[in-house]
Structure 1
Amino acid sequence: MIPPYQRIVAEITRRITAGELAPGDRVPSARQVAKEWEVALATATKALTTLRQNGLVETQPRVGTVVAADRPRPRAAAPERELTRERVVRAAIDIADAEGLAALSMRGIAARLGVAAMSPYRHVASKGDLVLMMADAVFSETSLPVHPPAHWRARVEVGVRALWELHRAHPWLAQLGPLTRPMLVPSLLAYSEWTLTGLSELGLDPTTTFDLNVLLYSHVLGLSVHLEREAQAEGATGLSTEQWMDGQARNLGRLAPAHPTFARIMSTFAETGYDLDLDALFELGLRSILDGLERRGPGTAMAVAVTSSREPGRWSGSRPSTAG
């Protein structure tokens, strides 16, 4: 009896060979394969891994699995390397980068590495522990300058932009938990130290300084969360952002007249167009926050709305954030 994953491999190979899937075309994701063939997610992942080993498909971050441009003849599988914690973590990062955090499973990681389903547990106690290791690994990818900029604003900009670029490369980072339940990983604390050192030059009280650190981090999270959601939405609907918006034109035309300012702005966009650019929004938000701080100047007292709700020695509804 042919194993289920081999039947999937054979069918997708046929589609590629027959030209139904051309180079660069997206291949069904592991979840889509699991649904179409009614198999476990680990089986679907093993099938895609086999196709990748055969050189028929390749993984592109934030795109998914696509038909390879150059398809060499199937190669014999390379001898299995020793399984290590680093290999498990890297395989998990690759899966999350390509298909999102929801597609991550220990069985899927095992299938990707070509090892027994329970093998990763020899190196990682649980999926929760694995996710923390993944976060620590990717936050360690971008090193901050050895010699920081002299001015507080330049230093803060360097740190916050580095965080944004990291979330752009790994959008699943924004899905790991709420701001009130921070990830206590060493490499993220390094970003906090960098930003807090710059903010400390403003001469503000500790609470305000830390609040600003959290605010800047939440600015990164608030935008980067939509990178992952858009990838999920496109995978589920098969529509790009532009295609989806085109389909909403009738609803927009029906709702806009009741809101004159919104309608006026939309009528302008009908001529000029509008591109919701997350990178541009990130820069606008960062500039607005830092411009406001710079106008106040070092040593100027700042009112913090939540201060009155805090009691000495207590966190008001949350623990301290390790925000970068």
Structure 2
Amino acid sequence: MIKKLLKQANQPLLGAIGIDPFYRPRDKVVFVMGATGTGKSRLAIDLASRFPAEIINSDKMQVYKGLDIVTNKVTPRECRAVPHHLLGFVDPESDYAATDFRRGTWRAIQSILGRDRLPIIAGGSNSFLDALVNGDPKFLARHDCCFLWVDVLPPVLNTFVSERVNRMVETGLVEEVRDFYAPGADNTKGIRRAIGVSEMDEYLRTETAVDRGTRMRLLEAAIGSIKDNTSVLACRQLQKIHRLYKKWNRNMHRIDATDVFLHHGTNASKEIWESQVVEPCTMIVERFLHEEAAPSATTVLVPAILMAAPAAAAATH
């Protein structure tokens, strides 16, 4: 369906400029960006329920197996049967770099397009997106990109992030880290870099050797550090997005979701999310899929047999 739509959209333009036999339309890719906690995964899944789409994870901690609560992976129920790629598949002790993400994303995009579906790349690791879009000249030559930036005012987001950490603790964050914990392990590699691991170190090292009051104080301090470091991460992510916006502003759409978070926990929250986030993004993607992109010089592919023809002709004279 997606390929058919692209083909139909580009035919009039190709005929007008006379390169129909040689032009390869650039494939459409949607990106969902934003700081941690802004609802990127939720929006990506909502869009995938409106378009024939599959999601590629671009969160550098969620690529690893394990620590599902700590890394805030979407649950099977939250996925709503939407296929996800690059999610929870890397050994937790390995290091998954931006170059690995770039290769994996290329393969995932081609696989998704091969099923006539739309690739939606969603996640908060903007260094991965930077490496993919700005670090690989071939990517922009082959793909038209639409960037959806879900933004929430920092004071409102910080409050939500703090509450989210509380919910993560309630659903088993401490137990999950305890099961994964290894005294003296290098917390600068693999999934151990995730916020929530090193912050729990002192508590887990001493919990059996101190009295209950001390244990509770250490746990409270650990949870506070998780909240603080998550807020710092959100700030850094937002700064990176502002830098990327200067490069991608023509194709980047900022969606203000602050009102959703101000009404979090109320009956109005879902309605506001639909009207102020999902519906505008749906219209943006719909327009993006139908718009005709002017062909780039780097996207004109000449068959090898035609490239060889002039040389063959010259040899006969």
TM-score after normalising by structure 1: 0.26
Q: Taking CA–CA contacts closer than 8 Å with sequence separation of 6 or more, which of the two structures ends up with the larger relative contact order?
A: 2
Q: In proportion to residue count, which structure has more strand? A: 2
Q: In proportion to residue count, which structure has more helix? A: 1
